[in-house]
Amino acid sequence: MAKPKLALIPAAQGDKFYSVLPSDGVGDFTFSRASTGTRIAPTGLIEEVPSGDSRLDYDLLNGKVVNCPHYLLEPASTNLFTYSQDFSNSYWSKLGATIGADAITSPNGSLDADKFTEDSTNGLHAIFQNAGVTIPTGNNTLSVFVKSNGRNFFQIRTGSAGGVDNSPLYANFDLINNTETASSTGVINSKVEIYPNNWKKISITFNLSSSTVVALVFQSILSGTSVISETYQGDGTSGFYLFGATLENLSYPTSYIPTNGTAITRAAETATGSGDAATFNDSEGVLMAEISALADDGTYRSITLSDGTSANRIYFWFWNDGRLLIGLSSNSVVQIDHFESIDVTNFNKIAFKYKANDFSIWLNGIKIDEASLGNTPSGLNNINFADSNGVSFPFYSKTREVQYFDSVLTDAQLETLTSWTSLQEMITSQLYTNY
């Protein structure tokens, strides 16, 4: 197979998304994030990354790191909990329970996770904010890291029915089998992610038609089918460990945002400006990417190879209805445009071949569309993780690779380029758990 003219294969953090080709750095993407961020490190632990540095993030499968790293791009998000880790602080009220501070190693590898222990009373055994928290209008996601310590079932709920849509909201989780076992109709989505050392990141998403102040509660329960606000006779020793509570005004959980006394915002990230006019061939070529959306969240996200405008561009879009859109425009006229229904949250290998009167689109080793009539774009000079202007529709995503070839490839080469190299690669790449 021909050697790519440009190849982004995530291998280093810094103020760029670094491309291994071309070797002079022309293919590097300019990166920005005006705040610190966190990532999953090669150890599987949560690690802070300095402001302005890109993030090499690793996938976890059953609590273990799998696959090579990907570059991570996320939108701005604020953790509305002002004390995300210190559950012994008076910000958190305890009911039928005590908190032991810094009792166990947390998902970041430090001794800073707290121990929740139920008392021996017959009643509720829970922890919540002492004055509630202002929850914004729209989709909100509440998440927390939990580890069983004698109680295997855990409930997230609202502390008051007043003002919460579809209230009361609650969801029960099985900490051993890593599943949601029951929830109210107001819970849009729930998720259990397995971290090292048997930690679980548990999250629920719900929607509010108007902002309200309400307590959000983490509670010990006896079974997966326990009712909301279950009371029971505590044994004085059982409970769980807690770390990293986060409330975000988003429809999915993002990377952990630690707080210690005030709400903290992780800034939005951008990666733009890879290549120049000498890198790309207007007459023919192939653009390839292996990418995954952070969520199927009803927003538009794009990668473009263009002249800086929408008139001449090749584009990969995650559409707002969860489909993938791939196409090309030349002098403002669309030459080929293809929608494909896929799971955008899985990693997908996509390639687009272009040459006058010879276009084809490949997805995971299969040719899904082609056209034998059409013109190529002109003035191609950059790739953006955004629309052609480098600003609109930023591509919040996970990216394992981007490659550009300045000549067309054969069908056999395109099939190889977009295929999984083995069954095991496909299984781990898609984070399947039944193997």
Gap between the Cα atoms of 271 and 391, Å rounded: 10
pTM: 0.94
Q: Tell me: the pLDDT tens digits for 324-374?
A: 999 999 999 999 999 999 999 999 999 999 999 999 999 999 999 999 999
> CA–CA distance from 184 to each of 26, 62, 232, 293, 382 (Å)?
52, 27, 21, 27, 48
Give residue 435's pLDDT band: very low, low, confident or very high (50, 70, 90): very low
Q: What is the dihedral of CA 119, 192, 301, 80, to 10 degrees?
A: 0
Q: What is the mean pLDDT of residues 274-289?
A: 98
pLDDT tens digits, one per residue of 35-78: 999 999 999 999 999 999 999 999 999 999 998 999 999 999 99
- The greatest distance separating any two alpha carbons of the chain, rounded to the nearest whole angstrom, comes to 77
Judge whether 36 and 24 are in contact, CB under 8 Å.
Answer: no
- Cα separation of 335 and 324, whole Å? 17
Instruction: Check whether 434 has a pLDDT greater than 80.
Output: no
**The pLDDT of residue 2:** 85
Contact, 235 vs 120, CB < 8 A?
Answer: yes
Q: How far apart are CA 29 and CA 71, in angstroms?
A: 11
CA-to-CA dists, residue 413 to 53, 112, 291, angstroms: 35, 51, 19
Confidence of residue 430 (pLDDT cuts 50, 70, 90): low
Closest of 320, 381, 330, 387 to residue 359, by C-alpha: 330
- What is the pLDDT, as a whole number, of residue 106? 98
Is the confidence at residue 168, as pLDDT, over 90? no
Residue 431 pLDDT exceeds 60: no
Structure confidence at residue 253 as a pLDDT band (50, 70, 90) = very high
Q: For 184-235, how does the pLDDT look when each residue is reduced to its tens digit (9 = 90+)? A: 999 999 999 999 999 999 999 999 999 988 889 999 999 999 999 999 999 9
Q: Band of the pLDDT at 162, cuts 50, 70, 90?
A: low
Q: How confident is the model at residue 183 (pLDDT cuts 50, 70, 90)?
A: very high
293: confidence class by pLDDT, cuts 50, 70, 90: very high
Domains of the chain, start order: 6-74+269-429 (2.60.120.200), 78-266 (2.60.120)
Give the 3-state secondary structure percentages of the chain, helix then strand then coil, rounded to 5.
5, 50, 45
What's the distance, CA 112 to chain centroid?
25
Task: Report, as an integer, the average pLDDT of 91-111.
Answer: 97
| String of DSSP letters for 30-55 | EEE-SS-EEEE-TTSSEEEE-TT---
